Amino acid sequence: MTPRNKPVRRRPIAVGNWKMNLTVAESEAVVRKLLETSGDVRDVDVVLAPSYTALWAAGRALKGSGLRLAAQNLHWEEAGAFTGEVSGAQIQDAGCSLVLVGHSERRRLFGETDEIVRRKVARALKQGLEVILCIGETLEQRLGDQTPVVVKGQMREGLADAGKEFSNRILIAYEPVWAIGTGRVATAEQISEVHALIRLEYEKLFDSVSADAVRILYGGSVTSENIADLAAIADLDGVLVGGASLNADRFGTIIRGLQKAKA
């Protein structure tokens, strides 16, 4: 029996991407509230990605809980004269064990190319961090039937320097650009289709065991209202949540929705 035939249990994961929002005090308050409402959830990985300025304080607030800290970005060099940038070692020092790489806002608004994404992925892995590689097509690309080409291309390029030994420290977040912050959610069919394609591509890049184990998240207008429908999608292992993660009650509902569907 090949590993592909065995049902693999992947631990569900909910990641809150706070983007450029919340002060230090506000970040701490959301963490505290989240611990009150969802601190007892043990079977879902809950990850928060605050701004750099709030990382340390948020990390301190969630210490001792099961919640984990992620950074939204990192630089590809180890250290040096890169004014305004933050290194993998520094985010790790601030308490992060994960980092988002290649978010569409980084690609679109800050000119991050696949080449830059590749270097960041490699640096983060070398640093010992887990990487959440964000990929996804624009509306134009979807309408032009380019989704498979774009998604596979972003994976191939982004993971080109990720050695096989790191395949268990990579997560893929499928975030269609047209669904981010728009209130327009991808359909279950669209998500299933792309997630299957991502898993297949992961197998080509690594191997079938890694492909069975890799967690694939969906992101783009995930809310406390639509989480039940989204979490019911079999090949969806988690969610990457922007706007709705800024509110502890809403994010708590999302975490519980995921827990319920994946139990």
In the complex, the residues that contact ligand PGA under the rule CB under 6 A are 17, 175, 180-181, 219-222, 240-244
Nearer to ligand PGA, 34 or 211 (CB): 34
In angstroms, what is the minimal distance from the CB of 214 to ligand PGA?
A: 18
SS3 content of the chain, % helix, strand, coil (to 5): 50, 15, 35
Nearer to ligand PGA, 120 or 211 (CB): 120
Residue nearest to ligand PGA (CB): 242
Query: Which residue out of 130, 137, 175, 201 is catalytically annotated?
Result: 175
Query: What residues contact residue 139 under an 8 Å CB cut-off, 6+ apart?
Result: 177, 178
Residues 145 and 107 sit within 8 Å (Cβ to Cβ): no
Closest by Cα among 14, 3, 10, 21 to 243: 21
Nearer to ligand PGA, 15 or 214 (CB): 15
Catalytic site includes residue 115: no
**How far apart are alpha carbons 16 and 100 in whole angstroms?**
11
Closest by Cα among 194, 230, 200, 231 to 214: 200
Catalytic site includes residue 175: yes
Nearer to ligand PGA, 17 or 73 (CB): 17
Closest by Cα among 99, 34, 91 to 65: 34
In angstroms, what is the minimal distance from the CB of 176 to ligand PGA?
A: 10
Question: What is the total residue count of the chain?
Answer: 263
In angstroms, what is the minimal distance from the CB of 154 to ligand PGA?
A: 15
Query: Which residue out of 28, 75, 103, 130 is catalytically annotated?
Result: 103
Which residues are designated catalytic?
Answer: 103, 175
